[in-house]
A and B are shown apart, each in its own frame.
Chain A
Amino acid sequence: MTATGVLPEATAEAVVDRPDATPGGAPERSLQEVRVVDAALRCIARWGVAKTTLDDVAREADWSRATVYRLFPGGKEAVLETVVEVELERFFAALDGRLRAAPDLEDLLVAGMSEAGARITGHPALRFLVTHEPEVILPQISFARAERVLARAASFASPYLARWLGPEEARRVGEWVTRIVISYAASPSESVAIADAGSVRRLVRSFVLPGVRASVDAQARARPVS
């Protein structure tokens, strides 16, 4: 019944232990690898992780099992690891595009939070896992594990935030908005649609910017007047 162990420990490490894996520094993926990853994603969206076999992935990619094995000698576990890495690279690359274009802090927060919210709540494979195989995905993102997700997301976000905030403040806000996105993506709310830019702008204006100001003010007051 349970699919524990289906998502290997190494995959979990890959999710969060590569804080330096910025879009620019991502390894080049071969077209074949990407084709296998996309095939695996379609299989997972349809049947989940436990029931997806390497044969399914090969058939979906329109290749022989032998070809897939040549690309991924580690078999299903290796494919899953690469799926997680590629999806994270795509996630951060998409965010990078949006964040670079933001003209001010409010737009940066709105673009980043709604883009992340849309990609998390609209990801077909992730949706299948959350609904049908929560035991595969949740242990990677809850309690102690959540700390690593928060740290990874904060280090990704802080260089963009640092255009407007000090480095320490940028890290703090990066971690904070990650929490906010995770909460609204995991437990839908009547007042906020986390994938909707208009709704997120209201959230940012009402709740996020006041928190940023309060913290910046507190630090300004703590600084000795010369």
Chain B
Amino acid sequence: MAGDARLRILEATYTCVARYGLAKTTVEDAARVSGMARATIYRYFPGGRDQLVAEVIAWEAERFFERLAAAVGDTEGLEELLEEALFFAHRAVDEHEVLQKILQTEPDRLLPQLTVESTRIIGYIRAFLMPHMEEQARAAGLESEEAADFVARMLLSFTGSPGRWDLSDRAQVTELVRTEVLAALRPAAGPTVTDDTMRPS
């Protein structure tokens, strides 16, 4: 029951943020939209407006990665899983209307909070990936935790800023995963170019 009320408040707050932005969302708005008393909101979020806004950002970030986990649920093998994850996450960020709007209008309010969240988000992705990469990590002589940590960081980095990569192009996503995300854990395919090519010319 308590969980339901908390969830209702967060959903209402999210609606308000989508409508008015982070700065203009108040406890009164959340009360009105959720149909709850202000006192009830303060009982769940004693920090008031600031806590409400911080927690709604954390909540939506978590929901984003839950949707991502569901989207890659039935892939086979680590490589395909990471390709699906990048493909989905990139599109989901692009199409996330509330995120895109706030990035345009209130980056100074959103980004400090997202950066605080990013350490938690890396942990979340790492925990999700670890069971999928134990075998490959062992074969490559790496701890699965450090390998999952690196891959989680790359996923997050490319999702936020794709740089030179076009992540709507399947072939590019495949190449990206094979090189900058997962190369350490892939058996070298075909003959390896000797290290001579990496000496000064």
Contacts and interface: CB of A to CB of B under 8 A. Distances in A.
Contacts of B112: 134-135, 138
A226 interface: no
Contacts of A184: 153
Contacts of B200: 104, 163-164
B163 A220 contact: no
Nearest to B152: A183
Given A2-B109, A135-B109, A183-B156, A218 B149 contact: no
A14 B112 CA distance: 22
B158 to A, nearest CB: 8
B123 to A, nearest CB: 9
Contacts of B198: 104-105, 164-165, 212, 216
Interface string A181-199: 0111011111110000000
Contact of B119 (A2, A187, A213, A217): A187
Interface residues of A, number: 50
Contacts of A17: none
B108 A4 contact: yes
B97 to A, nearest CB: 15
Given A142-B107, A217-B192, A150 B156 contact: no
A88 B175 CA distance: 33
A213 B192 contact: yes
Contacts of A127: none
Nearest to A220: B193
Contact of A221 (B107, B161, B190): B190
A84 B164 CA distance: 25
Interface residues of B, number: 45
A191 B27 CA distance: 41
B129 to A, nearest CB: 14
Interface string A151-173: 10000000000011100000110
Most A C-beta atoms less than 10 A away, residue of B118, B146, B183? B183
A175 B119 CA distance: 22
Given A104-B199, A164-B198, A214-B179, A189 B149 contact: yes
A192 B149 CA distance: 10
A163 B201 contact: yes
A164 B199 contact: yes
B109 A214 contact: no
Top-9 shortest CB links A-B: A134-B112, A135-B108, A211-B183, A146-B161, A138-B111, A139-B107, A214-B183, A191-B146, A210-B183
Given A142-B107, A206-B184, 16 more contacts: A138-B111, A138-B112, A142-B115, A142-B160, A143-B103, A144-B161, A150-B163, A179-B154, A179-B157, A179-B163, A180-B154, A183-B154, A187-B118, A187-B119, A211-B183, A213-B192
Interface of A: 2-4, 104-105, 134-136, 138-139, 142-144, 146-147, 150-151, 163-165, 171-172, 175-176, 179-180, 182-184, 186-192, 203, 206-207, 210-218, 220-221
